[in-house]
Structure 1
Amino acid sequence: MTIAPLQALPLDQLRRRSSTKWRTYPEDVLPLFVAETDFPLADAVTQRLRDALDLGDTGYTPPDPGLRDAFAAYAQRRFDWTVQPDRIRSTCDVMMGVVEILRAVIAPGDRVIVTPPVYPPFYDCVKEAGGVVERVPLVDVDGSWALDLDGIERSLAAGARAVLLCNPHNPTGTVHARAALARLAEIAAAHGAVVVSDEIHAPLVQPGVPYTPFLAASPEAAEIGYTVTSASKAYNLAGLKCAIMVTASEQTAAVVRALPPEVEWRTGLFGALAGVAAWSQDSDAWLDALLAALDRNRRLLAELLAEHLPEARYRMPDAGYLAWVDLRDLGWGDDPAGRILRDARVALNRGPTFGDEGHGHVRINLGCAPEVLTEAVQRIAALRG
């Protein structure tokens, strides 16, 4: 059955929003940077929030707002992943969960592996947790990105204590293979290390692409892994502040249970209410329509670049709505997003913020109308002269 793509809202309506995407730059700039999307919310989410407003339901978040059961059912339905609800705890956002878990499992000065090019806050979160960033970049294997498992093993053997994983990976949209995740868990377990997996982009894996939650990759992964995730990226709920920390063993569950109560108190009530609605079956059709829209746009970007910017190198992401594009052959320097913003009036994420591997690259947000994406690429191509 063909699923009709979700339709983005018109620009004049979007420009009335007050979020970062629409308030950072003047109106002549097309904003394709921060991870917000241009689609209407899922109906179930809108209705749940509207009901809360009608009731004046704006108080403190209760100990169990329904997130545990909602996510466990969602994980089973969408990922074939069995999660025990009592091994889920909430917090404000994914990066806060990452920091608090790292603080609990490393000592000050311990090295934490990241796999660049990677989500820029990873670097700051490791430092905030008292760790030291150890870079083990992704490797290119037959035209696809993959974890450098040999490099990770060397770093762990040399004393690194944790791996901060992005699964699926941001900004490349790579979905790590089950075998690679199982091997990562085996390596980490052998060296007494842990893996903290940011899985916020998991709902956005394209149909037909096998996806494995880290904790489900192997018995070793279940023993040494922590997953932090949220409905915020897929369902455009970042401002409502809610994430969950998931464990699969008694040892790791004990670590999360021992986190200070304030970690859970920081969960936003509206974020929790919206998350429960997003993870319900009532929102599945909306998510499927969103995935169809993103599939259309990731393919459209390939066509647009081939036609207008043939020097650009782009691999279609298997997950998410973020495209990692190599513009080095255009000769626009290490940070082409700066020139693109100034001269084309298109805001993209700056490649170098993702690590040294991002020099000459940009990250493009595909969560928009096809017409917006088309105009953005045409504006950028006009800079070629």
Structure 2
Amino acid sequence: MSDSSDGIAGIPHPNPLRRLTLDQLRRRTSVKWREYPEDVLPLWVAEMDVTLAEPVVRAVTDALALGDTGYPHGTGYAEALSGFAHRRWGWDGLAVARTKAVPDVMTGIVELMRLLTGPGDAVVVNSPVYPPFYPFLGDLDRRVVEAPLGPEGRLDLDAIEDAFHRETAGGRRTALLLCNPQNPTGTVHTAEELTAVAALADRYGARVVADEIHAPLTAPDATFVPYLSVPGGENGFSLMSASKGWNLAGLKAALAIAGPAAAADLARLPGEVVDGPSHLCVIAHTTALREGVDWLDALLAGLDENRRLLTKLLAERLPAVRYRPSQATYLAWLDCRDLGLGDDPAAAFLERGRVALNGGLPFGTGGAGHVRLNLATSPEILTEAVDRMATG
């Protein structure tokens, strides 16, 4: 029996991005649709304008009907992710025994950094990168040290080595918080790049924690490589979740995964952390990984169509904007520096065109003059957004 039962055999699953109208979306009460007035088109925060995979809806609804709202139990989530990793990425190294459920990816990152580093130690990031890395690590009293991406948006190994060399001097503990795939650029790091990172970490005694939440959202022409699968990754950690791939941000759950040489560190995670995810959230994520793959494939095809559409729209309406279609995620990183809108073009697009995007400045070095656009929406909304950006 197939593990992907949200479609009918032989019949393509409908594009989840084409199922909801703008009026329906405006009935939502999440932050994406409530942060701005109704005349604003919100293409900012990482929420998708989709109907959910039917098996997920059914599993949660059935649990509620049954009153199955107690505490989570067992390793079903980890088993589902391990099976998905095998089928999707050909990776058999995700051992259920080396996983711990955590409330969400950022909580898992913070708790691992608390174990691997001490107050005042450095955590290296590759900017531009997911903005919450900065305040979460700062609140933990860790110093965020940037090793920016290279000019082509790929990992700069020399910059990473310079940071490791400098920050491990005198025996200080240092970690790399790796974003794979990269948010906001959508870059998928190659096996060669990740192997080189692992070698550098081993040479300098640094630890690597990989945020791999966008891993299921890899484009058809790219191959996601789990950090823990590369030679030298055995001493690292990964944080994975079905949250981004299946639009389950409101149903928080994630898994912290240790490489074979890091299992003892993972075992030190405090009980209040690993007891954090709710039973309903675990049900939703487990079902998505086991039964929501047809839905995911339809979503990925729709996102690929939207990348091509955005390329065409920008060429026609905003040719000064530079855009390299991403290899993963549902985010588009737009270089708007030639528009003359200053360091924060998102402010201009909001004021003039009533389109809400993420400004690039919070993403760190490399973010000035850029915006992040969420293209996980209908082609009609995407088209209207670019029209507004061009004419506002």
TM norm structure 2 = 0.93
CA contact (8 A) 2:221 2:327 kept: no
Name whichever of 46-55 and 2-11 sits farther off: 2-11
Letter in 2 for 1:315: R
Note the alpha carbon deviations across 1:125-159, whole angstroms, 9 max, x for none.
2223331000110002xxx3211101111111112
Letter in 1 for 2:220: P
Note the alpha carbon deviations across 1:102-145, whole angstroms, 9 max, x for none.
000001111110000000011122223331000110002xxx32
Cα distance in 2 for residues equivalent to 1:257 and 1:166: 23
Cα distance in 2 for residues equivalent to 1:238 and 1:29: 22
Is 2:340 aligned against 1:328? Answer: no
Counterpart in the other structure of 2:316: 307
Runs of 4+ in 1 over 6 A off after TM superposition: none
Counterpart in the other structure of 1:185: 198
Is 2:165 aligned against 1:150? Answer: no
SS in 2 for 1:239: coil
Cα distance in 1 for residues equivalent to 2:384 and 2:345: 18
SS in 1 for 2:202: helix
How far the C-alpha of 1:356 sits from its partner, in A, is: 3.1
Cα distance in 1 for residues equivalent to 2:32 and 2:206: 37
Is 2:373 aligned against 1:343? Answer: no
Residue from 288, 309, 320 that aligns with 2:297: 288
**What is the correspondence of 1:235-384 to structure 2 with a 5 Å cutoff?**
235-249=246-260, 251-280=261-290, 282-383=291-392
Counterpart in the other structure of 2:6: none
SS in 1 for 2:328: coil
Cα distance in 2 for residues equivalent to 1:339 and 1:259: 44
How far the C-alpha of 1:66 sits from its partner, in A, is: 1.2
Counterpart in the other structure of 2:37: 26
SS in 2 for 1:357: coil
Cα distance in 2 for residues equivalent to 1:336 and 1:151: 28
Counterpart in the other structure of 1:119: 130
Q: How many residues align?
A: 375
Letter in 1 for 2:339: L
CA contact (8 A) 2:126 2:147 kept: yes
Cα distance in 1 for residues equivalent to 2:359 and 2:62: 39
Change in 2 beyond 3 A, CA 1:65/1:221? closer
SS in 2 for 1:113: strand
How far the C-alpha of 1:286 sits from its partner, in A, is: 0.5
CA contact (8 A) 1:175 1:211 kept: yes
How far the C-alpha of 1:14 sits from its partner, in A, is: 1.2
CA contact (8 A) 1:41 1:235 kept: yes
How far the C-alpha of 1:240 sits from its partner, in A, is: 1.1
**What is the correspondence of 1:69-88 to structure 2 with a 5 Å cutoff?**
69-82=79-92, 83-88=94-99
**What is the correspondence of 1:153-168 to structure 2 with a 5 Å cutoff?**
153-160=161-168, 161-168=174-181
Cα distance in 2 for residues equivalent to 1:36 and 1:14: 11
After superposition, the CA RMSD in angstroms is 1.4
Is 2:59 aligned against 1:51? Answer: no
Cα distance in 1 for residues equivalent to 2:76 and 2:30: 27
Unaligned residue ranges in structure 1 (runs of 5+): none
Unaligned residue ranges in structure 2 (runs of 5+): 1-9, 169-173
How far the C-alpha of 1:3 sits from its partner, in A, is: 7.4
SS in 2 for 1:147: coil
**What is the correspondence of 1:195-274 to structure 2 with a 5 Å cutoff?**
195-218=208-231, 220-222=232-234, 224-249=235-260, 251-274=261-284
Residue from 17, 32, 47 that aligns with 1:36: 47
Percent sequence identity over matched residues? Answer: 49
Cα distance in 2 for residues equivalent to 1:355 and 1:248: 29
Cα distance in 1 for residues equivalent to 2:135 and 2:237: 19
Cα distance in 1 for residues equivalent to 2:210 and 2:188: 13
How far the C-alpha of 1:340 sits from its partner, in A, is: 1.1
TM norm structure 1 = 0.95
How far the C-alpha of 1:65 sits from its partner, in A, is: 5.3
Cα distance in 2 for residues equivalent to 1:326 and 1:234: 25
Cα distance in 1 for residues equivalent to 2:19 and 2:226: 29
Letter in 1 for 2:307: R
Cα distance in 1 for residues equivalent to 2:38 and 2:370: 24
Name whichever of 65-74 and 44-53 sits farther off: 65-74
